[in-house]
């Protein structure tokens, strides 16, 4: 399975969590919450946004270990 870029995944998680913390639920006033939940599920290969968030947080926790630091050339 392909993994989303950590920057993109981080943005999705942060935006979803910000909206849900502000009180927007799946049937809430902000229609983006459903789109974000769907995108998180597709990005993580899950069907439930709670599982998607668990997986996303896990990937983001190890994302820095997989990628070279900014400005560091990758090994050839």
Residue 14 lies in a domain: yes
**Residue 51 is part of which domain span?**
6-64
Residue 33 lies in a domain: yes
Query: pTM score > 0.75 for this model?
Result: no
**Contact in structure between 41 and 49 (CB atoms under 8 Å):** yes
Residue 27 lies in a domain: yes
Which tokens belong to 9? 């995944």
Lowest pLDDT segment from 10-14, 34-38, 43-47, 66-70: 66-70
**Contact in structure between 68 and 74 (CB atoms under 8 Å):** yes
Listed in sequence order, the residues at least 6 apart from 25 whose beta carbon sits closer than 8 Å to its beta carbon are 33
Residue 50 lies in a domain: yes
> What are the pLDDT digits (tens) for 19-45?
888 775 555 567 889 999 999 999 999
> What is the residue whose two structure tokens read 């993109």?
8
Domain count, the chain: 1
**Contact in structure between 58 and 10 (CB atoms under 8 Å):** no
pLDDT at residue 68, rounded to an integer: 46
């Amino acid at each position: 399975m392909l993994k989303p870029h950590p920057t993109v995944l981080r943005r999705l998680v942060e935006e979803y969590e910000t909206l849900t913390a502000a009180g927007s639920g799946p049937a809430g006033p902000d229609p983006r919450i459903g789109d974000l939940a769907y995108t998180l599920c597709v990005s993580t290969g899950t069907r439930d946004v709670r599982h998607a968030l668990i997986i996303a947080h896990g990937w983001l926790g190890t994302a820095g270990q997989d990628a070279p630091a900014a400005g560091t050339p990758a090994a050839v």
